[in-house]
């Protein structure tokens, strides 16, 4: 059985090897290793160990994606099975309808799509296209990301693509720099979509709802649509996690999440890391839908 010291050492090895900002890893080591030596982590149960180490990591490096996570489901420790958490994420998406939690037609012919996850562009295409088909003839659209916990960058780009006109040139949305390959991947709007676009000559209004829970891939959609002037963001400032992340098992029940890349907006030149997405209209998150419906009603008046 692995000791807490072995678990933390394995996590530090993963962070040192993969963290997108290698210049910060020395400070992380300096914050954690003296605590290991002093026995600060001895005797802690698994969930408490994860919570404590995460707190110490984020004290020195306030990156909300950098953390230890406890999982009740046993994880394989075989190197051949380490895929950065991709298989587990795809399984989760299939169980959660590719992140599409609710699609509804509200009073005034306002469409509502509530997302809890951002699926990958390939796995999620059919569900995403179906959701957009159901709101295709609405007069305004509310995209509710208040409980969205993140997801895939290519899926975020697919969602964003629906809000740019078909006759528009492809739009360069943002880039993602990956430390492991020392390369930058560009994300553009897609010319071919699995459902109807929500962008035409009528310029139907789009409102994106956010909360203090909205994170990662959900923030990507909100930030990008806001930066490109394609939606009005309503609600509360989001959590502020802009770094695509890999998950690695360091014990059967402990994962270390390592931000291995960073997003760079083509509009702002930066991202939402640490600051969150700041709404255009700030209201408490539980009032955001009512505010969006009020805005849609005003927009519909002649």
Using the CB atoms, write b or e for 46-60: b if 16+ within 10 Å: beebbbbbbebbeee
Give, in words, the CATH class of 96-241+276-300: alpha beta
Using the CB atoms, write b or e for 217-255: b if 16+ within 10 Å: bbbbbbbbbbbbebbbbbbbbbbbbbbbbbbbbbbebbb
Beta strand 232-235 with 206-210 is parallel
Beta bridge partners of 206: 141
| Cα four-point dihedral sign 126, 128, 129, 130 | positive
Report whether pLDDT(201) > 70.
no
pLDDT in tens, 77-107: 998 889 999 999 999 999 999 999 999 999 9
Which residue ranges make up each domain of the chain? Answer: 4-81, 96-241+276-300
pLDDT in tens, 257-293: 999 999 999 999 999 999 999 999 999 999 999 999 9
Using the CB atoms, write b or e for 260-295: b if 16+ within 10 Å: bbbbebbeeeebbbeebbebeeebebeebbebbbeb
| pLDDT, average across residues 29-50 | 96
Compute the distance between CA of residue 137 and CA of residue 31 in angstroms, rounded to an integer.
55
The pLDDT value given to residue 52: 97
């Amino acid at each position: 059985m692995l000791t807490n010291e072995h678990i933390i050492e394995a996590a530090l090895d993963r962070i040192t090897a993969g963290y997108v900002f290698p210049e910060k890893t020395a400070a992380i080591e300096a914050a954690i290793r003296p605590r290991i030596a002093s026995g600060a982590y001895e005797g802690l149960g698994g969930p408490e160990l994860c919570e404590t180490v995460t707190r110490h990591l984020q004290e020195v490096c306030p990156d909300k994606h950098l953390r230890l996570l406890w999982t009740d489901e046993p994880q394989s420790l075989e190197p051949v099975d380490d895929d950065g958490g991709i298989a587990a994420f795809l399984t989760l998406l299939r169980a959660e309808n590719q992140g599409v939690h609710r699609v509804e037609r509200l009073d005034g012919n306002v469409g509502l799509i509530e997302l809890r996850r951002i699926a990958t562009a390939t796995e999620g295409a059919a569900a995403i296209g179906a959701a957009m088909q159901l709101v295709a003839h609405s007069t305004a659209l509310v995209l509710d990301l208040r409980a969205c916990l993140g997801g895939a960058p290519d899926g975020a780009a697919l969602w964003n693509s629906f809000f740019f006109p078909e006759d528009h040139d492809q739009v360069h949305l943002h880039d993602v720099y990956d430390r492991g390959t020392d390369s930058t991947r560009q994300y553009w709007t897609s010319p071919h979509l699995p459902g109807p676009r929500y962008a035409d000559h009528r310029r139907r209004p789009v409102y994106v709802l956010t909360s203090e829970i909205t994170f990662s891939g959900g923030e990507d959609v909100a930030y990008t649509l806001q930066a490109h002037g394609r939606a009005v963001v309503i609600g509360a400032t989001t959590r502020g996690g802009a770094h695509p992340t890999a998950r690695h098992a360091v014990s059967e029940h402990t994962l270390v999440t390592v931000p291995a890349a960073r997003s760079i907006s083509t509009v702002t030149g930066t991202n939402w890391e640490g600051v969150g997405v700041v709404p255009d209209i700030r209201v408490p998150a539980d009032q955001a839908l009512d505010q969006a419906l009020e805005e849609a009603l005003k927009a519909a008046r002649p």
